[in-house]
Chain A
Amino acid sequence: DAGVTQSPTHLIKTRGQQVTLRCSPKSGHDTVSWYQQALGQGPQFIFQYYEEEERQRGNFPDRFSGHQFPNYSSELNVNALLLGDSALYLCASSPRGEGSNQPQHFGDGTRLSIL
């Protein structure tokens, strides 16, 4: 039973570029959340997708956008990259159909470095 998988593992971009990160949720999970974790900090909520819709958004600019596909997988897109976007991007999935606030299961993350 595969857990949450994210790709790529590492990515190096330059300022102003655009990036797409991908996430496949754990089998049986229908909800995907994205978090940004800066070095030495706790993860910060970016947004959550359920039924292909963005359900809530954290305090992130519109440069951050996402999508959820019918198979529950998800993408995170970041435009006009800034140096401050360098971080570990974590994807988490959970089974909303099993009741409130089920534990979110995390992937290994994508480490994004902006030069």
Chain B
Amino acid sequence: AQKVTQAQTEISVVEKEDVTLDCVYETRDTTYYLFWYKQPPSGELVFLIRRNSFDEQNEISGRYSWNFQKSTSSFNFTITASQVVDSAVYFCALSEALSYNTDKLIFGTGTRLQVFP
């Protein structure tokens, strides 16, 4: 069965703190994709990153970085020097290979991040 677990329901930090959002996934497949999305209060899900199961290199994009570890089935997301504008709900999602006729996303329950000035 495919499943995504985001154990942290809500995190509160003060501006300029670093924060890590955890994501643990389950899948039987060897080929899969992992995603992070941001959902601000407006409701729209904003794509942040896609990672395939064969690429375990960590990635950095500005203040954002992602740590993918297949050995622990985790795909954690770190925001460095957090800002108030980072306040949102963050979702981790899993998608199996398109060969299964669809690339539906399986989402975790999300982590609400509040950054206080």
Point out the residues of chain B lying under 8 angstroms from A48, CB to CB.
Answer: 102-104
Query: How far, in whole Å, are A44 and B109 apart by their CA atoms in the complex?
Result: 10
Question: Closest Cβ of chain B: how far from A66's Cβ, in Å?
Answer: 13
Contact: B43 with A88, CB < 8 Å? yes
Q: Given that A42-B109, A45-B105 are known contacts, is A90 also in contact with B45, CB under 8 Å in the complex?
A: yes
Point out the residues of chain A lying under 8 angstroms from B35, CB to CB.
Answer: 103
Interface residues of B (CB under 8 A from A): 4, 33, 35, 37, 42-47, 50, 52, 91, 93, 95, 97-110
Tier of interface size on chain A: 20 to 34
What are 26 A-B interface contacts by the 8 Å CB criterion? A33-B104, A33-B105, A35-B105, A42-B4, A42-B91, A42-B109, A42-B110, A43-B91, A45-B104, A45-B106, A48-B104, A50-B102, A88-B43, A96-B98, A100-B97, A101-B95, A101-B103, A102-B103, A103-B47, A105-B47, A106-B37, A106-B45, A106-B47, A108-B44, A109-B44, A111-B43
Question: Closest Cβ of chain B: how far from A31's Cβ, in Å?
Answer: 8
Q: Looking at the complex, which one of A42, A90, A94, A106 makes contact with B103 (CB distance below 8 Å)?
A: A94
Q: Looking at the complex, which one of B43, B46, B105, B109 makes contact with A41 (CB distance below 8 Å)?
A: B109
